[in-house]
Amino acid sequence: MIEKLLETIGFGTITNYIYDNFFKSKDSIDKSVKKEFDKVKLITTDESKTTQDTVKKESQDIKELIHQKNDNKSLDTLTTALTGHANKFIPDMVHNVSSATANHLMNLDQRLKVDISYKDNVTNFIFSSKNKEGVKLTPTIKPSDPIEFQKNWEDLFHHGKPFKSTIEEINIKGSKIFDELLSNQEYSSQEISIEPTPQKSLLKLWQQNELGDFFPINDIELQVYSGTKSLSMEGKIFDGIVNISTYVNFHSRKRNIEFTFNVDFSRWNGVEINHLPYFDNVYKFFFNASEGWKLHGTFEKDGIKIVDIDPKDMSNEVFIKEVFNELKYIFFAREIAKSQNISICFTDYSFTSQLLDRLNTIYLAIQKGEKRLKSNELQASSDVIVNDENLDTFKNKLSDLNSTFYLEQPEKSSTTLTLFDTEVKLPKILHKFKHLSFKIDKDISIIKLGDQVHIDFTSNENSVHSLEFVEE
C-alpha cells in the first residue's frame, strides 16, 4: 500500500544525489563546507527584538523613534509617518512596518517572496521562491555542535523534519536579501529554520461497526513531508481539537499505514462545558473507537483516490482508553450541570477511576436509568422480623422456588463533589433492585411470629438495578 501511495501521489523523496553532494565529507561537518540546495523555505525568528528592528536601514529616523516606544508623542509621529493618521491603532502600524520591510527586501531580490509577521515580541521572516524552479542558495556552515548539527541536518533530508539553527552557524550566499540581513550583527544569535515545502493530500476517514452503522469524519487536508528514508503526514479534524499524524518508514517490513491521534483539550479552556465546540463529534469518535468500530479511510490526490486504508480496530489501544476516560469525565460533568441548572467552565481537572464510577452512578440517577445485572454481580443480605401482618405471606413467598424479591436502598447522605473548579451538591440516590434470588438460613415450616430470619440476596440474569434521585 505504501509503494502505491508514494508512486501515485508523486511525493517522491529528496534524491540521494542532492544529499550526497550536499555533504562533501560527512565526517568533517565541523569544517566550513559549502553546499547547494533548491526549493527550501527559510524562516528566521527574532526572539529578542521588536518589530522596529525590521525597518530598513534607510529609515533610520523611524527606527530611532520606535526605540522610544514608551514615548506617546514619538509613537504618534511614527504612526503619522507610516499611515498618515496620527490616531491609527498600533496593530495597523506594526502591519505597515512589516509590509514596508517585506517590500524593501523583495526589491533587493525579486525571485523571493518575503512575508513578515510579528506576535508576542517575535518577528518571523518567511522566504519562499516565486517560481517553480526555486532559488539556488549556497550556505557556509560552521556548527558549534557538529554532532547535533549533523543529526538535525540529516533528519531534514532523510525524514523531512524542519531544521533549526542559529544564524551565526549558517551564512547564506546567493541573494542580496541575506547579504543585508546577515550583515547585521544583531541577528547573528537569532534562529533560522529550513523546512521542506509540504505536499498536500486529502484523507477521508470514517468509522463502521459490524452492523454496518457508519460515522463519517470530516475530510482532512494533510501536509505531507518526505525525505530519503521516511514520509510523515499531519492533519487536523474537528477544527483542530484532534490532530492526526502518521509516519512511514520506507525500509520497514511493516507495510500498513497507521495513524496517531492527539487531542488538544486546551482549545476548550474557559468555555462553558455545555458549549464546548465539537464535543459531541469528538466524544462520538472515541466512544466508537473504544467500542470496536473500525477506522476506514482513503487517500486522495487532486480528486483521485490513490489507496484504501486497511480497516483498523483501535479499541485495545491505551491512548484510546485514556482519552475516552477523559471525555467521559467531561460528558458526566456536562450532564450533571444540565440537571442542576448550573454553569461550569472548562479548566484544569483531574479524576480517579473511583470518581468516574461515581459520576456514572449519578448519571444513571439523572436519567432514571436501569441496567441488567449479571448473575452473582450483586450480593446483599437482610434480617427480617416476622410479625402478624406478614407471616403467611412471607412463608408462602419463601416456599415458592420461582419467587424473587424487590429491594430499595437509599444512600445515607447526599453527594458533594468538585467538577473542574465548581463545587456541586446533589440529592440522595435511591437504588432499586428487582427480581433478586434469595436464600434463608431456617426451615420455613418452623418460622413463627417474632422470629428474625436472615436472608441472602443475589442477582441473576433477570435482575435489574435502577436509580433515581430522592427529593428532600
pLDDT digits (tens, 9 = 90+) for 266-307: 999 999 999 999 999 999 999 999 999 999 988 888 888 877
Res. 38: pLDDT tops 70? no
Q: Both 173 and 58 in a single domain?
A: yes
308 and 416 share a domain? no
Residues in Cβ contact with 319 at an 8 Å cutoff, skipping those fewer than 6 apart: 260, 261
Separation CA 427–CA 365 (nearest Å): 10
- Total domain count, the chain: 3
Please check whether residues 123 and 248 belong to one and the same domain.
no
DSSP 131-194: STT---BEEEE--SSHHHHHHHHHHHHHH---EEEEGGGEEEES-HHHHHHHT-GGGTTSEEEE
> Is the domain of 54 the same as that of 181?
yes
pLDDT at 384: 77
Tell me if 224 is assigned to some domain: yes
Angle, helices 90-108 vs 72-83, to 10°: value is 50
Q: Is residue 350 part of a domain?
A: no
Domain shared by 325 and 436, yes or no: no
Provide the pLDDT confidence category of residue 187 given band limits of 50, 70 and 90.
low
Element containing residue 285 per DSSP (H, E): helix 279-290
Tens of pLDDT, residue by residue over 166-181, are 777 777 888 988 888 7
Q: Which of 196, 220, 247 is at the close of a domain?
A: 196
Decide: helix, strand or coil at residue 448.
coil
In 298-343, which residue ranges form alpha helices assigned H by DSSP?
A: 318-340
Q: Are 297 and 202 in contact (CB under 8 A)?
A: no
- Structural domain span for residue 96: 32-196
Report the 10 Å Cβ neighbour count for 414: 13
1 part of a folded domain: no
pLDDT of residue 36: 32
The mean per-residue pLDDT over the stretch 419-429 comes to: 93
Final residue before a domain boundary, out of 196, 217, 233: 196
**Lowest mean per-residue pLDDT among 274-288, 367-381, 439-453:** 439-453
**97: number of Cβ within 10 Å:** 26
What is the rounded average pLDDT of the residues 332-346? 96
Residues 181, 242 within the same domain: no
Q: Looking at the predicted structure, is the pLDDT value of residue 59 above 80?
A: no
Residue 124, in any domain of the structure: yes
| Residue 281 Cα to chain centre, angstroms | 14
- C-beta neighbour count of 452 within 10 angstroms: 9
Q: Do 375 and 329 belong together in one domain?
A: no
**Grid coordinates of 228:** 530519503
- Contact between 76 and 58 under an 8 Å Cβ cutoff? The reply is no
Angle, to 10 degrees, between the axis of helix 318-340 and the axis of helix 353-367?
40
Same domain, 320 and 225: yes
State the burial class of residue 139 (Cβ atoms within 10 Å of its Cβ: 0-12, 13-18, 19+): buried
Residue 336 burial (10 A CB sphere; 0-12, 13-18, 19+): buried
Query: Could you tell me if residue 365 is inside a domain?
Result: no
- Is residue 34's pLDDT more than 60? no
Same domain, 91 and 126: yes
pLDDT for 386: 75
Higher confidence at residue 416 or residue 140? 416
Residue 464 confidence (pLDDT): 92
Higher pLDDT, 271 or 409: 271
pLDDT at 39: 35
Give the model's pLDDT for residue 93.
52
- DSSP letters, 213-254, are -EEE---EEEEEEE-SSEEEEEEEETTTTEEEEEEEETT-S-
- Whether 209 and 174 share a structural domain: no
Q: Distance between CA atoms of 249 and 70, rounded to whole angstroms?
A: 54
- Does the pLDDT of residue 356 top 80, yes or no? yes
Q: Residues 224, 168: one domain? A: no
Which residue in the block uniquely carries the three cell numbers 436472608? 455
- Three-state SS for 200? strand
In a domain, 7, yes or no: no
Domain boundary among 196, 223, 243: 196
Q: What is the pTM of this model?
A: 0.64
Closest CA to 192 of 266, 245, 267, 137: 137
pLDDT at 1 (0 to 100)? 53
Give the pLDDT band of residue 25 (cuts 50, 70, 90).
Answer: very low
Q: What is the largest CA-CA distance in the chain?
A: 112
356, part of any domain: no
pLDDT at 290: 96
- Distances, alpha carbon 208 to alpha carbons 285, 291, 296, 318, 327, in Å: 11, 11, 7, 20, 20
Answer whether residue 187 is part of any domain: yes
- Residue 22 reports pLDDT greater than 70: no
Burial class (CB in 10 A: 0-12, 13-18, 19+), 425: exposed
Q: Is the pLDDT of residue 205 over 70?
A: yes
186 with 67, same domain: the answer is: yes
Q: What percent of the chain has pLDDT over 70?
A: 76
Average pLDDT over residues 448-465: 86
